[in-house]
């Protein structure tokens, strides 16, 4: 049996999951309703109080009616829990192709906040559980820049998850392995490296949300050389840090060797229960404990 369709007062309708509208598309909707009328009624449920309604689907249609000066609107009234209605509203939003990429993935995050598992979300929105898991990981870490790159197809979602969880050295190692195994092309590695550098320099967020794909810039020889030189400089810095760390470790080992030769100091360590040495120091001293 189909749910009943009734004409109800707009003032009695509460929007369950409000969202911003694209102005141009909204104006087209208004003109369409003005010309041919409402093609599909909105969907609501009765509020628990019984004297109002909660809007599930059709916010744009209802707002168009309001702009046209209407006070009532045809509505299909269904029986459902508030939780089920919230999910129905999110799924309809996901199906709207005028949503920007970041708006789409934030709808996935909203489902996660409502307590749904990754597998449940995947079944509801038609994405793979792995993809949903990655999106929620990036959302939790505030990785808007990586999310944008994933949705534009610049970075595979699996690579974006690795970047979010790793430091810069691990990222470089992962990119090198992906290139050597053929998972990423040279141009992809350069593009990802550029995004990672922007993320490290500017931050994880985006000043604005892109609503369309960015035109890819051709990779030039100058860009390749610049990227190579930048990577060389970074590797040299890592070598300097490694040398500094080694010298400090050598100093600590020498100092510990002298301290451990003092019987009173060793007795004090044992009395305090400090009998284990850090592994790098213990290996250099040829000891496991004091």
pLDDT per residue as tens, the chain (290 positions): 567 788 999 999 988 777 766 677 788 788 888 877 887 888 888 888 878 898 888 888 899 999 999 999 999 888 887 777 776 766 666 555 445 555 566 677 777 777 778 787 776 666 677 777 888 888 888 777 787 777 777 777 777 887 887 777 777 777 777 777 776 777 777 777 777 777 777 776 665 444 444 444 555 566 666 777 777 777 888 888 888 888 887 888 788 788 878 888 788 878 877 777 777 777 777 766 65
pLDDT at 22: 65
Q: Which CATH architecture has domain 100-209?
A: Orthogonal Bundle (1.10)
DSSP letters, 221-266, are: HHHHHHHHHHHHHHHHHHHHHHHHHHHHHHHHHHHHHHHHT-HHHH
pLDDT at 97: 47
Domain positions in the chain: 1-98, 100-209, 239-285
Its pTM stands at 0.38
In angstroms, rounded to a whole number, what is the distance separating the alpha carbons of residues 103 and 98? 10
Q: Which CATH architecture has domain 1-98?
A: Alpha-Beta Complex (3.90)
| C-alpha distance from residue 166 to each of 172, 175, 196, 200 (Å) | 10, 12, 11, 12
pLDDT at 238: 80
């Amino acid at each position: 049996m189909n749910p009943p369709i009734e004409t109800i007062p707009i003032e009695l309708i509460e929007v369950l999951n409000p969202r911003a509208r694209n102005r141009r598309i909204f104006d087209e909707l208004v003109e369409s309703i003005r010309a041919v009328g409402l093609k599909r009624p909105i969907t609501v449920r009765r509020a628990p109080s019984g004297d109002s309604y909660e809007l599930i689907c059709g916010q744009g249609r209802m707002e168009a009616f309001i702009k046209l000066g209407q006070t009532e609107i045809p509505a299909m009234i269904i029986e459902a829990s508030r939780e089920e209605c919230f999910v129905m509203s999110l799924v309809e939003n996901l199906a709207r192709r005028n949503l920007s990429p970041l708006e789409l993935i934030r709808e996935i995050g909203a489902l996660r906040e409502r307590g749904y598992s990754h597998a449940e979300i995947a079944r509801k929105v038609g994405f793979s559980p792995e993809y949903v898991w990655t999106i929620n990981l990036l959302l939790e870490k505030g990785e808007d820049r990586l999310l944008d790159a994933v949705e534009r197809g610049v970075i595979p979602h699996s690579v974006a998850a690795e970047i979010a969880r790793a430091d810069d050295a691990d990222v470089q190692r992962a990119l090198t392995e992906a290139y050597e195994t053929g998972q990423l092309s040279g141009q992809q590695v350069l593009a990802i490296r550029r995004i990672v550098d922007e993320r490290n320099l500017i931050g994880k967020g985006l000043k604005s949300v892109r609503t369309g794909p960015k035109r890819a810039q051709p990779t030039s020889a100058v860009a390749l050389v610049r990227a190579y030189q930048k990577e060389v400089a970074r590797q040299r810095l890592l070598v300097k840090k490694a040398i500094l760390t080694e010298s400090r470790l050598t100093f600590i080992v020498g100092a510990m060797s002298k301290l451990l030769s003092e019987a009173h100091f060793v007795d004090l360590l044992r009395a305090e229960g400090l009998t284990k040495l850090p592994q790098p120091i213990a290996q250099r001293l040829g000891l496991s404990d004091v």
